[in-house]
């Protein structure tokens, strides 16, 4: 009976995999993006591909997120295909089939060295590389941040680094993850992308694939002009307070609120579907003051026309300028104000 139950789970999981929104029969370029959807970027990149390259249906992209046992649903980002735990455990054959068999993937943008064909948190991209190349799938690796940012090097180059001083078990675990990603990177021979300009310190051979913000969505949320109220509202909504300098931000801004200088909104776990309205309700958004990474919240805040505050080293600002097609320089703290980033 136990074997029959497992087989029933397998059939159900494979059926669920096959009914996910994969590519149409008419598309000739099929792009798989995932399997983490970190900060909603897999979904954002897939949407950009479909918007700008998908005319006539010849190009389609699908974003994929493999569910983890520890995943917190409250901040979940929209994604085209969610692979539940049963799908991952019992639907590997179907997953391989939809990726490798016609009309399978022609391209794959793989996050953080995770695999494409199943066993998402046990194997790595290297376990799938031969099968993908055998099916003529062109594969690129994209790195988001904590999986490749060397904590020792960051502490040496940035006086604001949270990794200075005595390390916690958390920092040790993060550095171990970095070492594991380095092993994948050392064996990887395909293209490599990073999502923020600071990561070019850690992966100088990579190409910048900038984070994406839905400008239209951010601008559509009801708002008032920044600093038009007598007392400004300052928002801080950290995804990870330890990596944002949140303790210092909380201390300073709470004191300023006590003095009547501002209204401080400190938020955690806001569903991404509500972030546009949340950001639009603020005058000033403080992203982070320690890491020097221009991330998604910073981009979304500027897209919403808010005053956005973040710590960026001058080297990072200059890289952003070099990668900006309009050549606009992010402002150094030692320079007069200019447009920050596009």
Predicted pLDDT at 263: 98
Contact between 237 and 268 (Cβ < 8 Å): yes
Handedness of CA 139, 60, 42, 87 (dihedral sign): negative
pLDDT at residue 206, as a whole number: 97
- pLDDT of res. 340: 34
Q: What is the pLDDT of residue 3?
A: 62
Whole-angstrom distance, CA of residue 184 vs CA of residue 232: 46
Q: What gap in Å lies between CA 266 and CA 315, rounded to an integer? A: 30
User: What is the number of H-type helices and E-type strands within the chain?
Assistant: 12, 11
Question: What was the pLDDT predicted at 325?
Answer: 72
Count of alpha carbons within 13 angstroms of residue 50, beta-carbon side = 16
Cα 197–Cα 227–Cα 333 angle in degrees, nearest 5: 35
In this structure, the chain runs to a length of 342
What does 186-247 look like in DSSP terms, one character per residue? HH--S-EEESSGGGGGT-TT-EE------HHHHHHS----TT-SSS-EEEE--SSGGGTTHH
Per-residue confidence in pLDDT tens, the chain, 342 aa: 456 666 788 899 999 999 999 998 889 999 999 999 999 999 999 999 999 998 778 999 999 999 887 655 445 789 999 999 999 989 999 999 999 998 999 999 999 999 999 888 889 999 999 999 999 999 999 999 999 999 999 999 999 999 999 999 999 999 999 999 999 999 999 999 999 999 999 999 999 999 999 999 999 999 989 999 999 999 999 989 999 999 999 999 999 999 999 999 999 888 888 999 999 999 999 999 999 999 999 999 999 999 999 999 999 999 988 887 776 655 543 443 333 332
Q: Work out the widest C-alpha separation in the chain, in whole angstroms.
A: 73
């Amino acid at each position: 009976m136990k074997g029959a139950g497992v087989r029933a789970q397998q059939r159900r999981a494979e059926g669920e995999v096959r009914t996910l929104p994969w590519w149409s029969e008419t598309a000739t370029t099929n792009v798989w993006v995932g399997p983490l959807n970190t900060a909603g970027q897999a979904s954002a990149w897939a949407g950009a591909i479909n918007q700008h390259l998908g005319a006539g249906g010849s190009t389609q992209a699908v974003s994929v997120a493999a569910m983890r046992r520890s995943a917190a649903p409250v901040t979940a980002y929209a994604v085209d295909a969610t692979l539940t735990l049963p799908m991952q455990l019992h639907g590997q054959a179907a997953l391989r089939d939809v990726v490798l068999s016609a009309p399978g993937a022609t391209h794959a943008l793989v996050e953080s060295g995770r695999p494409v064909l199943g066993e998402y948190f046990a194997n790595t991209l290297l376990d799938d590389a031969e099968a993908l190349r055998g099916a003529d799938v062109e594969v690129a690796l994209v790195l988001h941040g904590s999986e490749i940012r060397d904590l020792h090097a960051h502490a040496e180059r940035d006086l604001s680094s949270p990794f200075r001083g005595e390390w916690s078990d958390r920092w040790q675990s993060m550095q171990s993850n970095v070492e594991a990603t380095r092993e994948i990177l050392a064996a990887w021979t395909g293209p490599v992308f990073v999502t923020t300009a600071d990561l070019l310190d850690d992966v100088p051979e990579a190409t910048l694939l900038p984070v994406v913000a839905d400008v239209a969505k951010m601008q559509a949320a009801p708002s008032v002009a920044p600093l038009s109220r007598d007392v400004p509202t300052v928002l801080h909504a950290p995804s990870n307070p330890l990596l944002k300098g949140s303790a210092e931000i909380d201390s300073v801004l709470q004191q300023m609120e006590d003095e009547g200088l501002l209204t401080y909104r400190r938020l955690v776990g806001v569903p991404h579907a509500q972030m546009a309205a949340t950001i639009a309700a603020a005058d000033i958004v403080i992203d982070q003051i320690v890491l020097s990474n221009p991330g998604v919240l910073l981009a979304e805040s500027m897209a919403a026309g808010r005053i956005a505050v973040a710590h960026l080293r001058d080297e990072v600002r200059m890289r952003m300028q070099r990668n900006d097609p309009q050549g606009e320089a992010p402002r150094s703290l030692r320079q007069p104000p200019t447009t920050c980033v596009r």
